[in-house]
A = this chain, B = another copy of it.
Amino acid sequence: MKLREAWVKKREKDSNRSQMHYARKGILTEEMAFVAEREKLDAEFVRSEVARGRMVIPANVNHAGLEPMAIGINTRCKINANIGNSAVTSDIPKEIDKLSMAVKFGSDTVMDLSTGAHLDETRQAIIDHSPVPVGTVPIYQALEQVHGRPEELTADIMFEVIEHQAKQGVDYMTIHAGVLIEHLPLVSGRITGIVSRGGAIHAQWSMKHRRQNFMYTHFDRLLEICKKYDVTISLGDGLRPGCLHDASDEAQFAELQTLGELTLKAWEQDVQVMVEGPGHVPMDQIPMNIQKQIEICHEAPFYVLGPLTTDIAPGYDHITSAIGAAIAGQAGAAMLCYVTPREHLGLPDLNDVKQGVIAYKIAAHAADVARQRPGARDRDDAISRARFTFDWKKQFELSLDPEHAKALHDETLPDEYFKEAEFCSMCGPKFCSMHISQELTKLGRETKGMREAKKQERQERLLKS
Residues of A within 8 A of B (CB): 86-89, 115-116, 140, 143, 148, 150, 184-185, 188, 191-197, 199-201, 203-204, 207-208, 242-246, 282-284, 309-316, 318-320, 322-323, 326-327, 330, 341-347, 349, 358-359, 361-363, 365-367, 369-372, 377, 379-381, 383-385, 387-388, 395-396, 398-401, 404-405, 407-409, 411-414, 418, 424-434, 436-441, 443-444, 447
Secondary structure type dominating chain A contacts: helix
Which among A200, A318, A401, A404 has the highest number of chain B CB atoms within 10 Å? A200
Q: Nearest chain-B residue to A400 (Cβ)?
A: B313
A321 to chain B, nearest CB (A): 10
Q: Nearest chain-B residue to A199 (Cβ)?
A: B433
Cβ of B440 and Cβ of A387 under 8 Å apart? no
Cβ of A384 and Cβ of B242 under 8 Å apart? yes
User: Which residues of the partner chain B approach A185 to less than 8 Å between Cβ atoms?
Assistant: 444
Cβ of A283 and Cβ of B87 under 8 Å apart? no
**Which among B244, B346, B407, B413 is the interface contact of A408 at CB below 8 angstroms?**
B346
User: Which residues of the partner chain B approach A89 to less than 8 Å between Cβ atoms?
Assistant: 412, 425
- How many copies of this chain sit in the oligomeric assembly? 2
24 pairs from A and B in contact (CB 8 Å cutoff):
A191-B384, A191-B388, A192-B434, A193-B441, A194-B433, A194-B436, A199-B433, A200-B436, A203-B440, A204-B443, A242-B434, A243-B384, A245-B381, A310-B365, A312-B380, A312-B400, A316-B359, A316-B400, A319-B319, A342-B408, A342-B412, A345-B409, A346-B408, A347-B412
Which among A201, A327, A344 has the highest number of chain B CB atoms within 10 Å? A344
User: Which residues of the partner chain B approach A371 to less than 8 Å between Cβ atoms?
Assistant: 284
Cβ of A414 and Cβ of B88 under 8 Å apart? yes
Cβ of B115 and Cβ of A430 under 8 Å apart? yes
Cβ of A383 and Cβ of B312 under 8 Å apart? yes
User: Which residues of the partner chain B approach A362 to less than 8 Å between Cβ atoms?
Assistant: 309-310, 312-313, 316, 319-320, 323
A328 to chain B, nearest CB (A): 11
A379 to chain B, nearest CB (A): 5
A454 to chain B, nearest CB (A): 14
Cβ of A310 and Cβ of B245 under 8 Å apart? no
A275 to chain B, nearest CB (A): 20
User: Which residues of the partner chain B approach A432 to less than 8 Å between Cβ atoms?
Assistant: 197
Cβ of A283 and Cβ of B367 under 8 Å apart? yes
A399 to chain B, nearest CB (A): 5
**Which among B367, B377, B427 is the interface contact of A245 at CB below 8 angstroms?**
B377
Cβ of A192 and Cβ of B245 under 8 Å apart? no
In the complex with contacts A284-B372, A425-B346, A197-B384 CB distance below 8 A: no
Cβ of B191 and Cβ of A444 under 8 Å apart? no
Q: Nearest chain-B residue to A363 (Cβ)?
A: B323
Nearest 9 Cβ contacts at the A-B interface: A193-B437, A87-B428, A243-B384, A346-B412, A283-B370, A200-B436, A309-B366, A346-B425, A148-B430
